Amino acid sequence: MGKIGYVGVIFLGVLAFLGSVQGQLKFGFYDQTCPNAEKIVQDYVKKHIPNAPSLAAALLRMHFHDCFVRGCDASVLLNSSSTNTAEKDSPPNLTLRGFGFIETVKSLIEAQCPGVVSCADILSLVARDSVVTIGGPFWRVPTGRRDGTVSNSTEALLNLPSPFFNFSTLQASFASKGLNVSDLVLLSGGHTIGIAHCNPSFATRLYNFTGRGDMDPSLDSEYAEVLKRKCKVPTDNTTIFEMDPGSFRTFDLSYYRLLLKRRGLFKSDAALTSDSAGRSIINELLNAPVSKFFDEFAMSMEKMGRIEVKTGAYGEIRRQCAVVS
Ligand code: HEM
Ligand SMILES: *[C@@H]1O[C@H](CO)[C@@H](O)[C@H](O)[C@H]1NC(C)=O
Ligand SMILES: *[C@@H]1O[C@H](CO)[C@@H](O)[C@H](O)[C@H]1NC(C)=O
Ligand SMILES: *[C@@H]1O[C@H](CO)[C@@H](O)[C@H](O)[C@H]1NC(C)=O
Ligand SMILES: *[C@@H]1O[C@H](CO)[C@@H](O)[C@H](O)[C@H]1NC(C)=O
Ligand SMILES: *[C@@H]1O[C@H](CO)[C@@H](O)[C@H](O)[C@H]1NC(C)=O
Ligand SMILES: *[C@@H]1O[C@H](CO)[C@@H](O)[C@H](O)[C@H]1NC(C)=O
Ligand SMILES: *[C@@H]1O[C@H](CO)[C@@H](O)[C@H](O)[C@H]1NC(C)=O
């Protein structure tokens, strides 16, 4: 048996087994099995996002919601069934849009390589290519994610940070996903694009912050008046407002500039300036060319895209993204 002995052989065997079951993400995972996969995604996104630029924000947010609940496994894409309420039908789903977009890309890829490319990878690639198409940062997307078979609305509620979180609850939420305070500040920068609904995302900041008919004192009072003219009643759940007004379609630093002017839209945005580490990260970003934000956002996105991924023999490759195969 030589020097390593039986125990050693068993140990190596277990390692090899774990390696094959666990696998790992890598760049160009589909190079041999579906060489056009990434190009199909990119071509479709480049062709259609310019006609519907607001979808880029929705798709970026969908990727975030996917990764924070059971890892980036496309659980966010599953439909509810008669016996299960899926993440999609959880309260934080507000304005999640673009499911049809993902499903179309999936069908284009299925036509070339049936049963090979996961919905989780497609969502990760679509989110990246959409942001690039509107002039935002490029980040690397290693592939090899497999699709989950469980989607549970309660878990979405438990795992997604709320717009009413403060700095410490945000920090804890991100830490539970392996992300630190820099990642929190950088990824919140995703709010440089997109929109939000008055209720339930921020109207209580204007009308009933602590339940005494008061306003959030951390919100600039002039800005609060502007917002109140938009959201006339606290229950208004149809009016939308840009999170980074003036440049809500442009990936830039103005979201962070607004934060320092106490004009962040959510309590969770404002909270980033309530902590000295948060403030210093924001100041560093604002004192550097926008390319620093892009580079660091890219690193945090790559990190987010690796949260609790299923690889190797775990999970499955769905045929349709809305149903378990
Ligand atoms: C830090 C914790 C976060 C909280 C509490 C949060 C919360 C929210 C809320 C409440 C909305 C508005 C929903 C609505 O009213 O329609 C929203 C929108 C959005 N979020 Fe976040 N978010 C967070 C982090 C992120 C991250 C990490 C990303 C991506 C990197 C992201 C990207 C977006 C985008 C792009 C939108 C706009 C969606 C659209 O225009 O349809 N958010 N977020
Ligand atoms: C969000 O969930 C509600 C139920 O809570 C459901 O009626 C609605 O269709 C869902 N929205 C999306 C985009 O899935
Ligand atoms: C969904 O998740 C919650 C919280 O973890 C759990 O209590 C519940 O049993 C799950 N529901 C299903 C149908 O598995
Ligand atoms: C943040 O929120 C949590 C949960 O609501 C609360 O226990 C904590 O005291 C808050 N922290 C600060 C600094 O307000
Ligand atoms: C967060 O993690 C990144 C590496 O992923 C590191 O570069 C950065 O310094 C960390 N930030 C903090 C505040 O620990
Ligand atoms: C404000 O919140 C409190 C406590 O949640 C509630 O009792 C009251 O009705 C609310 N007021 C308004 C104007 O919504
Ligand atoms: C919006 O509010 C109305 C009236 O309160 C309610 O009937 C409706 O279900 C709400 N819509 C959503 C998407 O929550
Ligand atoms: C999933 O639900 C959506 C919205 O209800 C529906 O349009 C779609 O056909 C469903 N997909 C499947 C595969 O059942």
pLDDT at site 3: 53
The ligand whose atoms approach the alpha carbon of 79 most closely is 8
CA distance 165 to 259: 16
Least confident of 9-13, 89-93, 266-270: 9-13
Q: Is the CB of 155 under 6 A from ligand 3?
A: yes
Distance 129 CA to ligand 7 centre (A): 33
Give me the chain's average pLDDT, please: 94
Q: Any residues with CB less than 8 A from the CB of 242 and at least 6 apart, and which? A: 194, 195, 248
- What does the pLDDT average to over 202-207? 98
Which residue in the list 48, 63, 65, 197 is annotated as catalytic? 65
Report the residue among 167, 174, 180 best suited for mutation to probe ligand 5: largest number of ligand atoms under 8 A from its CB. 180
Tell me the pLDDT band of 95, cut-offs 50, 70 and 90: confident
65 is catalytic: yes
pLDDT at site 94: 84
Pairing status of strand 240-242 against strand 195-197: antiparallel
Which residue owns the Cα nearest ligand 7 atom 11?
237
Domain positions in the chain? 32-159, 167-304
Tell me the pLDDT band of 4, cut-offs 50, 70 and 90: low
- Chain segment 211-257, per-residue pLDDT in tens: 999 999 999 999 999 999 999 999 999 999 999 999 999 999 999 99
| Backbone φ and ψ of 150, nearest 5° | -125, 135
Give the pTM.
0.94
pLDDT at site 19: 46
Say if domain 167-304 classifies as CATH 1.10.420.10.
Answer: yes
Q: In the chain, what percentage of residues exceed pLDDT 90?
A: 92
Q: In the chain, what percentage of residues exceed pLDDT 70?
A: 93
Where are any strands of DSSP class E within the chain? Answer: 195-197, 240-242
- Chain segment 124-156, per-residue pLDDT in tens: 999 999 999 999 999 999 999 999 999 999 999
The ligand whose atoms approach the alpha carbon of 192 most closely is 1
Tell me the pLDDT band of 291, cut-offs 50, 70 and 90: very high
Which residue owns the Cα nearest ligand 5 atom 2?
180
Q: Is the CB of 322 under 6 A from ligand 8?
A: yes
**Domain boundaries 32-159, CATH class:** mainly alpha
Q: Is the CB of 306 under 6 A from ligand 5?
A: no
